Amino acid sequence: MLLQNNDTIIYVLAILIATVIIGLIIYITVILVESKHKASDKALLIFLLALIIVVVIPILLAVIATVLDAIGDPLTQLRDPPTHNFLLYLVPIFGFLLILVCTKFLIDLDWSSALWIALLAIFFLYIIFTVIPELYTFIWELAGQGPPPI
């Protein structure tokens, strides 16, 4: 039922392509930072991590943004005059921390290696979502949030 629409098939293909690109980037980074043996031993987990980074983390960030918006809006109304809700600027920080923790525990790395891998992964993830903004909007709408606030 979900795949009956032609646009949905294109988005699923875009998710797969983004997952493969992020997975290859993480795989190459693990080869450079750790070793080739670690990368080949954890290849399946690397691509599982890439799928989590492309699909699951944006949905979690949508939920976090909703919670921060619900907390921040009443707080901004307390000021005279009401100001902008700056709590939403914390969402990318939470995203980076989620990617860092997933990288650390899924690939079983030390914190310094996981930090570099997470930095490169989030950098290329932002590039992919900038080049294909419809993909980010599609994943955000999967979370049931409507258009992204940021």
Q: Sorting pLDDT into bands at 50, 70 and 90, what band is 78?
A: confident
Q: For the segment 17-75, what is each residue's pLDDT rounded down to a tens digit?
A: 889 988 999 999 999 998 889 888 989 999 999 999 988 998 898 899 989 989 988 88
Nearest Cα residue to 150 out of 81, 66, 75, 80: 66
Whether this model's pTM surpasses 0.85: no
Rounded Cα distance, 107 and 81, in Å? 48
- Terminal Cα-to-Cα distance of the chain (whole angstroms): 30
147: which 2 tokens? 């258009």
Average pLDDT over residues 118-127: 86
Q: At what angle do helices 91-107 and 111-131 cross, to 10 degrees?
A: 130
pLDDT more than 90, % of the chain:
29
Average pLDDT over residues 114-124: 89
Interacting residues of 68 by C-beta distance below 8 A, sequence separation 6+ = 85, 87, 88, 90, 91
Nearest Cα residue to 42 out of 55, 57, 30, 29: 30
Q: Sorting pLDDT into bands at 50, 70 and 90, what band is 115?
A: very high
